[in-house]
Amino acid sequence: MKDAPMMELPIETLSIIILDSRDPTIQFLRLALESAGYEDVRAFTDSAAALAACMERRPDLVLLGLTTVPSDGLTVMKDMLEAAAGEFYFPILVLADDLSCDTKLQALLAGAKDFLPEPVDAAELLLRVHMLLKTRALYKHLDTQNRALENAVEQRIRDLAEAEVKILHRLAIASEYRDDETGQHTQRVGLLSAMLAQQVGSPAKEVELLRIAAPLHDVGKIGVPDKILRKSGKLSRQEFQLMQSHTVIGGQILGSSPFAVLQMAAQIARSHHERWDGAGYPDGLAGEAIPFAARVTAIADAFDALTHPRPYKEAWSLEKTILTIEAESGRHFDPSLVPPFLSLLRADGLHKLANRLSGENRYTNHIDIRVLDESVLIPKPR
């Protein structure tokens, strides 16, 4: 990214605050600054009024007199800097007739950027003011450049994450076509999982994240032979073990990504066949040891698989599917998720739910992870 040329701020746009207890000093400073072209000069003899002005509109420079009230002046300086917390560069020019080492040290510790002895020489005043404002302009320029660079890096991270998710979704769809001729199972599971998560009150960010991650649950099927995946009869013990391996394969495919969205997908791919009672695979996890996203996806996956035909089975009726899911509550499925899922079904009915899924799928079959929070997009340490 090419750096933009640094430009000094127009002098008439710069805001300067003067705080001193002596009117003659204030009048001299104001006259010198305005004669040099500075138009926005606000002068105060009351420290509270000056602090309020700083908080209302942040100045580019403060001229602070310490001669008559040095202790109060240092306190005001600290208050001003606290009010400007987070500011990239906030210059305070201290004016004092006593510029001993002790005074300078106290002022520096309080946050002063420069000193000017009194009585003030107009030429020296304007030179120091110019240098402080030039330094502020430089800091502003660097801050702008840093923000632009950060934005560019964040956009690049988004682009990389989006590309990786898109590629893996294509892989998931390719694997799904091998035992689902419509290729829509993955998207239906993603949408159902998101609906269930929303039904139980999950944050909107997590709901959207689950919608993107859940369709990758069966990506590991790419490593299962067709003769097993499309077998119409009962699988042998060895064949079933090979079928079960799709969970491990999916976790391995997705698990190498530093992106949170794919880390969730890896959890789902590996654990969506775990059972609440611990009798599932591949790790025999039980209860809440099973990742929440995998527990949600398990119900959505089972429902969709049961209500749609596969090479080895006919589609089940809604009534039979509901009875099966109810019976498996607390055994196969998380008992806290079954009632809200069935409530979702009863609210829509299978036909309405199918239309809803089909309609939403038309708008959500693209992958746009930019709607997610930054914490989702920035790579997490593994």
pLDDT (0 to 100) of residue 86: 65
By the 8 A CB rule, do 309 and 316 touch?
A: no
Query: Could you tell me the pLDDT band of residue 372, with boundaries at 50, 70 and 90?
Result: very low
Q: List pLDDT tens digits, range 189-240.
A: 998 999 999 999 999 989 988 998 999 999 898 888 888 887 878 888 899 9
Residues 230, 352: one domain? yes
Residue with tokens 């340490």: 381
Residue 382 lies in a domain: no
Q: Is residue 41 classed as helix, strand or coil in its secondary structure? A: strand
Residues 134 and 184 in one domain: no
Looking at the fold, whether 193 and 267 belong to one and the same domain comes out as: yes
Band of residue 93 on the pLDDT scale cut at 50, 70, 90: very high
Query: What average pLDDT does this structure show over 254-272?
Result: 89
The residue out of 131, 148, 165 marking a domain boundary is 148
Nearest of 201, 216, 220, 205 to residue 294 by alpha carbon: 216
- The pLDDT-based confidence of 382 (bands split at 50, 70, 90) is very low
Question: How confident is the model over 65-90, as pLDDT tens digits?
Answer: 886 555 577 788 888 888 777 667 88
264, 213 in Cβ contact below 8 A?
A: yes
CATH number at residue 260: 1.10.3210.10
pLDDT at 202: 95
Based on the domain organization, do 95 and 191 belong to the same domain? no
* 4 found inside a domain: no
- Mark whether 23 and 86 lie in a shared domain: yes
Mean pLDDT, range 97-121, rounded to an integer? 83
Within 8 A by CB and 6+ apart from 49, the residues are none
Residue 279 sits in the same domain as residue 364: yes
Q: Which of 148, 169, 186 is the last residue of a domain?
A: 148
Pair (118, 192) in one structural domain: no
Domain that holds residue 41: 11-148
**186 within domain boundaries:** yes
Name every residue whose Cβ is closer than 8 Å to that of residue 245 and which is 6 or more positions away in sequence.
220, 223, 224, 282
Q: Residue 344 domain-assigned?
A: yes
- Give me 48's structure tokens: 């509270």
46 occurs within a structural domain? yes
Cα distances (Å, whole numbers) of residue 116 to 3, 38, 234: 35, 19, 92
Average pLDDT over residues 14-18: 91
| Co-location of 200 and 141 in the same domain | no
Average pLDDT over residues 93-106: 82
Phi first, then psi, for residue 255 (nearest 5°) are: -75, -10
Q: Are 333 and 298 in contact (CB under 8 A)?
A: yes
Confidence band for 266, pLDDT divided at 50, 70 and 90: very high
Q: How far apart are CA 128 and CA 119, in angstroms?
A: 15
Q: What is the pTM of this model?
A: 0.59
DSSP label at residue 235: P
Q: Where are the alpha helices (DSSP H) in the chain?
A: 23-35, 47-56, 70-83, 101-110, 122-176, 185-199, 204-213, 226-229, 237-255, 260-271, 292-306, 318-327, 338-364, 374-377
Are 194 and 240 within one domain? yes
- Per mean pLDDT, which range of 12-16, 109-113, 252-256, 371-375 is the poorest? 371-375
Is 65 within a domain? Answer: yes
Find the mean pLDDT for residues 263-289.
96
The structural domain count of the chain equals 2
Predicted confidence band at 341 (pLDDT cuts at 50, 70, 90)? very high
C-alpha–C-alpha distance, residues 53 and 60, integer Å:
12
CATH code, domain with 75: 3.40.50.2300
- Do 158 and 374 touch, CB atoms closer than 8 A? no
Asked if residue 171 belongs to a domain, the reply is no
**Percent of the chain whose pLDDT exceeds 70:** 83
Same domain, 136 and 211: no
Question: What confidence category does residue 262 fall into, taking pLDDT thresholds of 50, 70 and 90?
Answer: confident
- The pLDDT of residue 129 is 92
Average the pLDDT over 366-371 and give the result. Answer: 37
pLDDT at 161 over 50: yes
Q: How far apart are CA 63 and CA 92, in angstroms?
A: 6
Share of the chain above pLDDT 90, in %: 34
Give the pLDDT of residue 73.
74
Q: Do both 128 and 272 map to the same domain? A: no
Question: Among 361, 376, 367, 366, which residue's Cα sits nearest to residue 195?
Answer: 361
- The CA-atom distances, in angstroms, between 176 and each of 41, 118, 172, 219 are 70, 82, 6, 8
Q: Is 349 left (phi over 0), alpha (psi -120 to 50) or beta?
A: left
CA distance 212 to 218: 13
> Is 186 found in the same domain as 129?
no
Q: Which of 364, 342, 361, 345 is nearest to 353 (CA)?
A: 345
Taking alpha carbons only, the member of 304, 297, 294 closest to residue 183 is: 304
User: Distance between CA atoms of 288 and 217, rounded to whole angstroms?
Assistant: 19
Which pair of tokens denotes residue 310?
Answer: 């596969």
pLDDT score recorded for residue 260: 81
Residue 4 pLDDT > 60: no
Residues 6+ apart with CB under 8 A from 61: 14, 15, 16, 17, 91, 92, 93, 129, 132, 133, 136
> Is 33 part of a structural domain of the chain?
yes
pLDDT band at 280 (very low <50, low <70, confident <90, very high): very high
Whether omega for the bond prior to residue 24 falls within 30 degrees of 0, making it cis, is no
